[in-house]
A and B are shown apart, each in its own frame.
Chain A
């Protein structure tokens, strides 16, 4: 039975101007699968509560769990977590949950990861899980993001391990010298950086609603089987 438990914030790391990685120490955490999430609950002094889901950003390490939260303009929970929650303070967490949007190291199909904005979080968790397992399953990550400054995990993505191809595509502003003009992810990008449908890859798509809808439709257009496309919409 998964119930609420207290978790103490032990570290806060800046990722971008609008995203932070938060490291929590829950009372007990036996582990989780890459792609799973947890629910975080905040309680105000008058009893008001707010619950939101956040993906686990990587494998549990020394009992600590890691989230990366992107600030949503006017967002009740994300702005509090990004700007206000002090190190040493507690939130409540419920998890890990969600057994559907997960990558298990036992599956040997090639993996295609399509991330939009903060949708990178559970997908990078899969990359990190692959690393932790020493797996050789070939991965391709296609990451769509507004500007170079918005790239979460930029250092890590710049030096991917063997067998993991990373391509970042910009929608608003490209880095100086880039040949591709900034625009939304299109079929060309998927054709160039994705796996062909004949390889029957497992496809994981995560990000804001509009991105997930568009990317999943492109995969279907390219001939990928609906049953091998898993989506996680952030809202």
Chain B
């Protein structure tokens, strides 16, 4: 057991009942990065959905912008223990995107332009639970937070909400993503503290 360090609290704030166990509230918006911030030109960006038999649908920036947009206000929970309440985003519901593809798949992998991936069961992406967002708090999404477009699936730990998102692939079987292959939980429910794959 580790010794306590007298008076050390870390950068943590108050706890509320909207904050899952083991999390603390932050007012800022910490930037997490597992690599350099990619420069993504909206002129070259596209979003592609590929179903389990390889059929694909793509939207370029202009076509994506014409899709119906929503402005969800949600709480977000990062596995590095910060949570942020009432964040407002602007983007397209994943329901809208999936309406264009036929699928009987159970699982999805979200892909980023830099090769990052995250796996999510498909049923967690439908019925208004997930978005592809291009705006944050009334402004275009900053590159450090995943702009021009990131994924948003706020009921799971925030690593599932891939930055610099480029598409979704649909699969019959679960395929662990970047962090899920390295010890993080396949599902990642913050209220159940599903942070890690089980240990011993």
Q: Do any CB atoms of chain A lie under 8 A from CB atoms of chain B in the complex?
A: yes
Q: In the complex, A74→B28 CA distance in Å?
A: 12
Q: Does B66 contact A (CB under 8 A)?
A: no
Main secondary structure of the interface of A (DSSP, over half): mixed
Interface size (A, Cβ < 8 Å)?
A: 20
Q: Does B8 contact A (CB under 8 A)?
A: yes
The reply to whether A44 and B8 contact each other, CB–CB distance below 8 Å, is yes
The reply to whether B3 and A84 contact each other, CB–CB distance below 8 Å, is no
Residues of A within 8 A of B115 (CB): none
Residues of A within 8 A of B11 (CB): 74, 76
Q: Does A153 contact B (CB under 8 A)?
A: no
CB distance from B77 to the nearest CB of A (A): 16
Residues of A within 8 A of B2 (CB): 4, 41, 43, 49, 92
Question: Which residue in chain B gives the minimum CB-CB distance to A86?
Answer: B6
Q: Does A91 contact B (CB under 8 A)?
A: yes
Task: Tell me the chain A residues, 72-93 only, with Cβ under 8 Å from chain B.
Answer: 74, 76, 80, 84-86, 89-92
- With a 10 A CB-CB cut-off, give which of B8, B9, B10 has the most chain A CB atoms: B8
Q: In the complex, A139→B143 CA distance in Å?
A: 43
Q: In the complex, A170→B4 CA distance in Å?
A: 40
Question: Which residue in chain A gives the minimum CB-CB distance to B24?
Answer: A48
Residues of chain B whose beta carbon lies under 8 Å from any beta carbon of chain A: 2-12, 81
Residues of chain A whose beta carbon lies under 8 Å from any beta carbon of chain B: 4, 6, 41-45, 48-50, 74, 76, 80, 84-86, 89-92
Given A42-B10, A43-B8, 6 more contacts at CB 8 Å?
A: A4-B2, A42-B8, A49-B2, A84-B8, A86-B7, A89-B6
